[in-house]
Chains A and B, each alone.
Chain A
Amino acid sequence: MRRIPANEQVRVSVEVNGRVVTGQAESRTLLSDFLRHELGLTGTHVGCEHGVCGACTIRIDGDIARSCLKLAVQVEGASIETIEGLAPAPDSLSVLQQAFVEHHGLQCGFCTPGILISLDTLLRNEPNADEMRIREVLSGHLCRCTGYTPIVKAALAARDRLKELD
Chain B
Amino acid sequence: MKPAKFDYICAATVEDVAEVLGEHGADARVLAGGQSLMPMLSMRLSRPQVVVDITRVPHLDGMRIEDDHLFVGAVARQQSLAGVADLATRFPLLSQALPWIGHYQTRVRGTVVGSLAHADPSAELPLCLVAMNGEINLRSPRGSRRVRAEDFFKGTMLTDMADDEFIQSARFPVAKPTDRFAFREVGRRHGDFAIVAAAAVRDDTGIHVTVGGVNDVPFRRRFDGLEVHDIGDAVSELAAELDTRSDLHASAALRRQLVRSLASDTLKEVLS
Contact = CB atoms under 8 A, between A and B. Distances in A.
A118 interface: yes
B176 interface: no
Contact of B2 (A28, A52, A64, A65): A28
Size bracket, chain A contacts = 35 or more
Size bracket, chain B contacts = 35 or more
B10 A7 contact: no
Interface stretch (B31-39, B86-94, B217-225, B262-270): B31-39
B105 A3 contact: no
Contacts of B106: 51, 66, 140
B113 to A, nearest CB: 16
Interface string A32-60: 01000000000000001111101001000
A27 B6 contact: yes
Contacts of A140: 103-106, 191
A69 B2 CA distance: 11
Interface stretch (A15-23, A70-78, A80-88): A70-78
B109 A63 contact: yes
Nearest to B15: A1
B97 interface: no
Nearest to B39: A50
A112 to B, nearest CB: 15
Interface string B173-204: 00000000000000001110000000000000
Interface string B48-77: 010101010000000000000000000000
A7 B103 contact: no
B246 interface: no
B191 A4 contact: no
B2 A30 contact: yes
A6 interface: yes
Could you tell me the dominant secondary structure of chain B's interface residues?
loop
Contacts of A57: 105
A71 B20 CA distance: 19
A38 to B, nearest CB: 14
Contacts of B103: 54, 137, 139-140
A60 to B, nearest CB: 9
A90 interface: no
A69 B9 contact: no
Given A51-B106, A139-B189, A140-B191, A68 B55 contact: no
B9 A1 contact: yes
Contact of A68 (B42, B189, B191): B42
A79 to B, nearest CB: 16
B84 interface: no
B150 interface: no
B1 A49 contact: yes
Given A1-B10, A71-B8, 9 more contacts: A1-B13, A4-B7, A27-B7, A28-B6, A52-B39, A70-B34, A74-B10, A122-B104, A140-B106
5 contacts: A27-B7, A57-B105, A118-B104, A139-B103, A141-B105
Interface of B: 1-13, 16, 20, 31, 34-35, 38-39, 41-43, 49, 51, 53, 55, 99, 103-106, 108-109, 189-191
Interface of A: 1-7, 26-28, 30, 33, 48-52, 54, 57, 63-66, 68-71, 73-74, 118, 122, 136-137, 139-141
